Structure 1
Amino acid sequence: MTEHTTHPVVVVGSGHAGVAVAAGLRTRGWAGRVVLVDAQHDVPYERPPLSKDLLASGAGDRAAPLRKEDWYEAKGIERVTGQAVDSIDRDARAVILSDGSRLPYHRLVLATGSRARELPVPGADLDGVLALRTHQDGLAIKQSLVPGARVVVIGAGFIGMEVAAAAVKNGCAVTVLEFQDRVMKRVTSPPVSAFFERLHRSQGLRLEFGAAVTELQGDGRVERVLTSDGRTFEADVVVAGIGVLPNQELAEAAGLACQDGILVNEQCRTTDPCIYAAGDVTRFTSPFSGASQRLESIQNATAQAEAVVDDVLDHEVKPSEVPWFWTVQHGVRLQTAGVMHPDDEVVVRGDPERGKFSVVYLREGRLAAVDTIGGLADFRPAKKLISTGLLLDPARVADPGVKLEDAVIGTGPRPGAYETAAALV
């Protein structure tokens, strides 16, 4: 009897990455045991609907499962629920669960995800101060979005703006406080930010920029939000959407290399060749730009899970897919491919006033990222051009009557990038 049959592949975490690893191993022929460990008792569920469908007026309260409950048993995937992994014994190749029991592994996959960043101000622990990361978080927010409620959202990123849109639709009086000078600044350019600002204001949302929150006040429950410029905003509910932190503590305690995320190479191996990591918790080198990055997206979680499965099965790891993301706000879909940089050349295709346009980001003459708003015509060709690194003519890119692929003017290696992702470990 081999270690493959006696010692399982143990996956810690049942989000998109963890479930995708377990499913991929089974569907692609792994005959050994697969054990999925989750501190929660819930059946693993979809995360994107938490800030979209779940918060909609009249929507049901149930979480959308990633797989039906009986699917795990049918596929021979063992689920250990209600148990956290307290530590990793790398020498013995075993994890120690919260009840003190030991679970040996042939290979270990850390898919521990991320958690909502807490507000670092006085009063953040008052009742009515909420964040969105889990299904229970989503239900708590949904129950608070009653008509007439004064809702203050802190942070104008994807999550903050999606929650704000849902709150407005539910009849709340909503104010978004953002310490930067525009919405979604970390992930997009001024033309896209301006479009979504107009959209939200047209629906009755109040947006306040340069608003750094300094304190939350209330008698047991939040009643007001104070900002550094001396303003006060009355609130019945506060939702903090100020980003996430990677759940890397387990890896750090085990001596694995971490740097705002668990460092992994293109096979998703950590500094221990028997331990992988996948999903929001990882940091890796982009094969397209050579930059170190941590991506919070379903696409990245799924792609990394596939890389883990390939490596465990001794298959060749496929080339990386261009990362992509999406958000839907007031019925308008923004879909992004690639990762923009503030220094990129910004080229607008189409008319933002008509609600259907694209923004292309050129870096040294090559397509680095694209935003498509209200339509996807440019999305697929843009993804292909990002991956190939071909030189483009900015004037032709700016003409919406010219197909993106017809704007190519040259070839050559992408400056600063790697032929394959450079290993961080």
Structure 2
Amino acid sequence: MSEQRIVVVGAGLAGAHLVQGLRSEGFTGPITLIGQEPELPYDRTKLSKEYLQGRMDRTEIRLHDESWYAEQDVQLRLGEVVASLDREAHTVRLATGEELPYDRLVLATGADSRRIPVPGAELPGVMTLRELDESDALKELFASGGHLGVIGAGWIGLEVAASAKQAGMDVTVVAPNAQPLDNILGERIGAYFADLHVRNGIDLRMGVAARGVLERDGRAGGIVTDDGEIETDAVLVAVGAVPRIAIAEQAGLEVGNGVVVDARMVTSDPAILAIGDIANAENTLLGQRLRREHWDNALRTGTLGARTILGLEGDYDWQPYFFTDQFDLGMEYVGNNLASDEPVVRGSFDSGEFIVFWLRDGVVTAAMNVNIWDVNDTLRGIIGHSVPVERLTDPSVDLADLAG
């Protein structure tokens, strides 16, 4: 086992965490980690939060110092593009023409920002946020002030809007849905996020579709919407992400909303794993397939992939988790609710400190703690239980007793 040659394509959270997991479990064989960006692996979640706000620098968002990879005998191939895979020959071909042999291959290629098919979408000044240099470009924009237009009211759009406003910019957000995040959290909780942004000075225009990007002096100068034109100094498109599966498709692996894997992250080729954003995996706890693009999923699937390679126990048996920071709101979420599930609130929206539970047929499907800390593990234990609403919402009932 220790002599297997491991090649990891993708040097983000998932890929780097898999490498860390292999070495921490005693694997001594050769490992090659290939990254398309020239940067050392870093925590991508910081790009729309601490790094964008200037509270962390490049060294602080790195997962490990360069010396760690040398000490762990990991061959880093940064700034390299994988052109193709040869499953029969067990080789990875780089864009340079170099071929790297493998015994086990791990795809951790992540996702790209989704583009919008509207006039002007390719103009200079139309920005996205997925990589470090894009966050740097936004920071430079923040320093110049002016007006930022944001298309999309999902997690990235709202986090960047909050960061831009706190940096002193005017910010307008447009999105076609009724409330921010309503496809995930439902309209009632989405309305809370809308109020948060409006209270903090964001010009939030929900139910408004972007039909194009205005051009001014050869650059993006605003957004064309159903309701007219909004002049801005730059435009951020934040309408979700698409998994990078071109390599998997070229190699003939089974794909569908990502790369299809089993509960141990193994693809249709037993020599190849897929982890992180691209993994459409069988969740044994929920009894369904899930593909998630969150920090926790990248870490956990990276660890699980390492255990799978080493023949150790483990499968995809956890509830999804994510977090966000916007203005004075810090939030953690765990579970897998539908937008149609009934939200019940423990505490007060007005206080800014509360917990939301989602119910389906009386069973808790998810929970979210807002500005209340060190309770997420307890909330995780409540999910899947049938709990009366009056107990969920009663602050005199200890959270630890709700699963009983």
Give the TM-score range, shorter chain.
Answer: over 0.9
Task: Provide closer, same or farther for how the CA distance between residues 268 and 319 of structure 1 changes in structure 2, counting only shifts above 3 A.
Answer: closer
What is the root-mean-square deviation in Å for CA atoms of aligned residues?
1.8
Per the alignment, residue 387 of structure 2 pairs with: 392
Q: Give the C-alpha shift of residue 331 in structure 1.
A: 2.7
Question: What secondary structure sits across from 1:53 in the alignment?
Answer: coil
Q: Give the C-alpha shift of residue 81 in structure 1.
A: 2.1
Task: Provide closer, same or farther for how the CA distance between residues 231 and 299 of structure 1 changes in structure 2, counting only shifts above 3 A.
Answer: same
Q: Give the C-alpha shift of residue 222 in structure 1.
A: 1.1
Q: Show the 5 A alignment for 1:357-396.
A: 357-376=354-373, 378-386=375-383, 389-396=384-391
Q: Give the C-alpha shift of residue 282 in structure 1.
A: 1.0
Task: Provide closer, same or farther for how the CA distance between residues 359 and 216 of structure 1 changes in structure 2, counting only shifts above 3 A.
Answer: same
Q: Give the C-alpha shift of residue 378 in structure 1.
A: 4.3
For 2:398, which of 379, 403, 423 is the aligned residue? 403
> Does the alignment pair 1:117 with 2:77?
no
Preserved CA contact (<8 Å) 1:121 1:214: yes
Q: Give the C-alpha shift of residue 73 in structure 1.
A: 0.7
* Distance in 2 between residues matched to 1:250 and 1:129, nearest whole Å: 27
Structure 1: tracts of 5 or more residues without a match: 410-425
> Does the alignment pair 1:47 with 2:12?
no
Task: Provide closer, same or farther for how the CA distance between residues 291 and 353 of structure 1 changes in structure 2, counting only shifts above 3 A.
Answer: same
Q: Once the two structures are superposed, what CA deviation does each residue of 1:146-201 show, in whole Å capped at 9, x if it has no partner? A: 46411101111111011101111111111000110111223213333222222211
Select between 80-89 and 316-325 the one with higher mean Cα deviation. Answer: 316-325
> Does the alignment pair 1:231 with 2:253?
no
* Distance in 1 between residues matched to 2:30 and 2:374, nearest whole Å: 44
> Does the alignment pair 1:129 with 2:142?
no
Structure 2: tracts of 5 or more residues without a match: none
Q: In structure 1, what residue type is equivalent to 2:8?
A: V
Q: In structure 2, what residue type is equivalent to 1:402?
A: V
Per the alignment, residue 317 of structure 2 pairs with: 320
> Does the alignment pair 1:83 with 2:80?
yes
Task: Provide closer, same or farther for how the CA distance between residues 290 and 152 of structure 1 changes in structure 2, counting only shifts above 3 A.
Answer: same
Preserved CA contact (<8 Å) 2:7 2:33: yes
> Does the alignment pair 1:169 with 2:166?
yes
Q: Once the two structures are superposed, what CA deviation does each residue of 1:204-254 show, in whole Å capped at 9, x if it has no partner? A: 111001111111121311112111x24110010101110000001100111
Preserved CA contact (<8 Å) 1:10 1:107: yes
Select between 391-400 and 163-172 the one with higher mean Cα deviation. Answer: 391-400
> Does the alignment pair 1:216 with 2:217?
no
Preserved CA contact (<8 Å) 2:112 2:241: yes
* Distance in 2 between residues matched to 1:18 and 1:42, nearest whole Å: 14
The ranges of structure 1 where at least 4 consecutive aligned residues each deviate by more than 6 angstroms after the TM superposition are none
Select between 283-292 and 395-404 the one with higher mean Cα deviation. Answer: 283-292
> Does the alignment pair 1:106 with 2:103?
yes
Question: What secondary structure sits across from 2:182 in the alignment?
Answer: coil
Q: Show the 5 A alignment for 1:13-412.
A: 13-56=10-53, 60=57, 64-146=61-143, 148-218=145-215, 219-227=217-225, 229-317=226-314, 320-376=317-373, 378-386=375-383, 389-408=384-403
Task: Provide closer, same or farther for how the CA distance between residues 384 and 407 of structure 1 changes in structure 2, counting only shifts above 3 A.
Answer: closer
Per the alignment, residue 418 of structure 1 pairs with: none
* Distance in 1 between residues matched to 2:269 and 2:190, nearest whole Å: 42
Question: What secondary structure sits across from 1:371 in the alignment?
Answer: strand
Task: Provide closer, same or farther for how the CA distance between residues 58 and 385 of structure 1 changes in structure 2, counting only shifts above 3 A.
Answer: closer
Q: In structure 2, what residue type is equivalent to 1:221?
A: R
Task: Provide closer, same or farther for how the CA distance between residues 57 and 170 of structure 1 changes in structure 2, counting only shifts above 3 A.
Answer: farther
* Distance in 1 between residues matched to 2:228 and 2:260, nearest whole Å: 42
Q: Once the two structures are superposed, what CA deviation does each residue of 1:254-291 show, in whole Å capped at 9, x if it has no partner? A: 11111120011111000001100000011123334333
Question: What secondary structure sits across from 1:335 in the alignment?
Answer: strand
* Distance in 2 between residues matched to 1:366 and 1:381, nearest whole Å: 16
Preserved CA contact (<8 Å) 2:208 2:227: no
Preserved CA contact (<8 Å) 2:382 2:402: no
Question: What secondary structure sits across from 2:276 in the alignment?
Answer: coil
Q: In structure 2, what residue type is equivalent to 1:232?
A: E
Preserved CA contact (<8 Å) 2:263 2:315: no
Preserved CA contact (<8 Å) 1:147 1:171: no
Select between 182-191 and 11-20 the one with higher mean Cα deviation. Answer: 182-191
Q: In structure 2, what residue type is equivalent to 1:392?
A: V
Q: In structure 2, what residue type is equivalent to 1:31?
A: T
Question: What secondary structure sits across from 1:168 in the alignment?
Answer: helix
Preserved CA contact (<8 Å) 2:119 2:212: yes
Aligned residues: 403
* Distance in 2 between residues matched to 1:210 and 1:52, nearest whole Å: 26
Q: Give the C-alpha shift of residue 372 in structure 1.
A: 1.0
Question: What secondary structure sits across from 2:115 in the alignment?
Answer: coil
Question: What secondary structure sits across from 1:100 in the alignment?
Answer: coil
Preserved CA contact (<8 Å) 2:111 2:242: yes
Task: Provide closer, same or farther for how the CA distance between residues 32 and 221 of structure 1 changes in structure 2, counting only shifts above 3 A.
Answer: same
Q: In structure 2, what residue type is equivalent to 1:189?
A: G
For 1:10, which of 7, 11, 14 is the aligned residue? 7
* Distance in 2 between residues matched to 1:283 and 1:183, nearest whole Å: 25
Q: In structure 1, what residue type is equivalent to 2:262?
A: N
Preserved CA contact (<8 Å) 2:129 2:238: yes
* Distance in 2 between residues matched to 1:47 and 1:407, nearest whole Å: 35
Q: Give the C-alpha shift of residue 308 in structure 1.
A: 1.1
